[in-house]
């Protein structure tokens, strides 16, 4: 005779524990403000790329470089916009953690290059912009760390990863992770050695700013591999796709600034096209029904 199964606290099938969601504080005090700030910066740098000496934190060497930095901020706006759409914390946390890292790196770059920042300037717009930039990069990391502590105590659980990412997908992502991380570090540490290799005019500070984003996206690719599940890469995929699209548009828009005889420009264009494809493919995977939904 078969006895009815008995369950203890450890052997009972897990009840449908509520999934930890993004707290209202993270949305209202971090994601929304940074989405608006990044959107404003992106529009300003893309539309007024030749006037950075009048409104931006530092005077960018060339309009194309300013527009390229704007492309990075456009991608950040896309990252925050997609993160705001997510309900589960596991699907939004990558955007919060990576943006926190980027803020800290850019704060370091700003302080290291304080003599080039418009902290003392006769132009009131760039003066206010520089101080606002500094305040944002000091205050928002503190806000993020405070909110992350509260988020960790929020009710619910983070669902475990169901499966590892397929090896055929891990290999190219790992290559992108290593290449972007190495390039980002080089742009941050020794930008002077890269200025002559860059396919258009850019100052060491410009390269450091772009290097901060490159490093963060390289590490973000590693995060995607670690997370494994397609649903959790939706925000990151949206961001890299946006970066690739806007960067390619800026290349077309500032065609005359580029030295097309340099091999580096074709490497740059190829990488941006690759980002678009990777982002679209990541979105495609993220939109597929999961095994649990099947």
Asked whether residue 7 carries a pLDDT value surpassing 70, the answer given is no
Tokens 């405070």, residue?
Answer: 146
- H helices then E strands: how many in the chain? 10, 0
The 10 Å CB-count burial string (b at 16+, else e) for 99-137 is: bbbbbbbbbebbeebeeebbbebeeeebeebbeebbebb
Domain boundaries, the chain: 24-286
Token pair, residue 183, equals: 């390039």
Q: Are 96 and 148 in contact (CB under 8 A)?
A: yes
pLDDT at 52 over 50: yes
- Quote the pTM value: 0.90
Out of 101-105, 116-120, 177-181, give the one with best mean pLDDT: 101-105
């Amino acid at each position: 005779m078969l006895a009815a199964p008995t369950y203890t606290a450890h052997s009972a099938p897990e009840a449908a524990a509520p999934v930890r969601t993004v707290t209202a504080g993270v949305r209202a005090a971090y994601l929304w403000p940074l989405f608006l700030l990044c959107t404003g910066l992106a529009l300003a740098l893309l539309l007024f790329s030749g006037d950075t000496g009048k409104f931006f934190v530092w005077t960018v060497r060339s309009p194309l470089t300013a527009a390229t930095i704007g492309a990075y901020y456009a991608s950040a706006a896309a990252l925050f916009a997609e993160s705001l759409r997510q309900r589960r914390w596991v699907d939004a946390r990558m955007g919060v953690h990576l943006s926190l890292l980027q803020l800290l790196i850019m704060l370091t770059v700003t302080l290291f290059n304080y003599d080039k920042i418009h902290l003392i300037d006769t132009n009131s717009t760039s003066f206010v912009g520089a101080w606002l930039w500094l305040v944002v990069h000091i205050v928002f990391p503190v806000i993020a760390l405070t909110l992350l502590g509260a988020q960790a105590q929020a009710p619910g659980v983070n669902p475990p990863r169901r499966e590892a990412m397929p090896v055929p997908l891990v290999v190219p992502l790992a290559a992108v992770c290593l290449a972007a991380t190495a390039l980002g570090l080089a742009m941050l540490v020794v930008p002077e050695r890269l200025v002559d290799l860059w396919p258009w005019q850019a100052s060491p500070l410009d390269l450091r700013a772009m290097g901060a984003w490159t490093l963060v996206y390289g590490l973000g690719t590693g995060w995607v591999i670690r997370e494994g599940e397609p649903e959790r890469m939706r925000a990151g995929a949206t961001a890299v796709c946006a970066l690739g699209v806007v960067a390619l548009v800026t290349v077309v828009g500032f065609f005359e600034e580029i030295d097309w005889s340099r091999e580096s420009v074709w490497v740059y264009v190829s990488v941006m096209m690759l980002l678009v494809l990777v982002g679209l493919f990541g979105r495609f995977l993220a939109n597929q029904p999961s095994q649990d939904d099947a």
